[in-house]
């Protein structure tokens, strides 16, 4: 998806996005989280002012930019939001491991006291 991007050069002369337009919304780039080089252009993983994560590709040969990926702030792996507070989400294998340890100890205690 083509997007309009404003960028500025850093100390090494490489462009990085500062803000971009999605439809009628202007999104300020809060942080450039990652950058890597592709065959045609650079890719930038950025955090927008709306707290969503975006991957932008550009500038292309014609000077345009593309939105490659979008990740909503509530769908990031490892964090779930509940009523405004961030709550850490444990991977399921840790929950299973925890409960298997608890149940195995309670069975051992049950046999011991029987």
pLDDT of 97 above 80: no
**Chain segment 37-92, per-residue pLDDT in tens:** 988 899 999 999 999 999 999 988 898 999 999 998 888 654 444 444 444 454 55
pLDDT at 100: 61
Percent of the chain with pLDDT over 70: 66
pLDDT at 73: 86
Instruction: Compute the radius of gyration of the chain from its Cα atoms.
Output: 23
Query: Can you tell me the mean pLDDT for 19-38?
Result: 92
* Spatial distance between the Cα atoms of 61 and 58, rounded to a whole number of angstroms: 8
């Amino acid at each position: 998806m083509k997007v309009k991007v404003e960028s500025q050069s850093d100390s090494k002369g490489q462009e990085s996005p500062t803000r971009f337009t999605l439809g009628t919304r202007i999104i300020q780039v809060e942080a450039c989280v990652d950058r890597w080089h592709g065959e045609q252009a650079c890719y930038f993983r950025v955090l927008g002012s709306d707290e969503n994560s975006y991957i932008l590709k550009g500038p292309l040969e014609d000077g345009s930019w593309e939105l490659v990926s979008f990740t909503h702030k509530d769908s990031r792996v490892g964090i779930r939001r509940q009523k405004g507070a961030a709550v850490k989400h444990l991977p399921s294998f840790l929950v299973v491991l925890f409960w298997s340890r608890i149940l195995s100890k309670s069975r051992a205690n049950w046999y011991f006291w029987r």
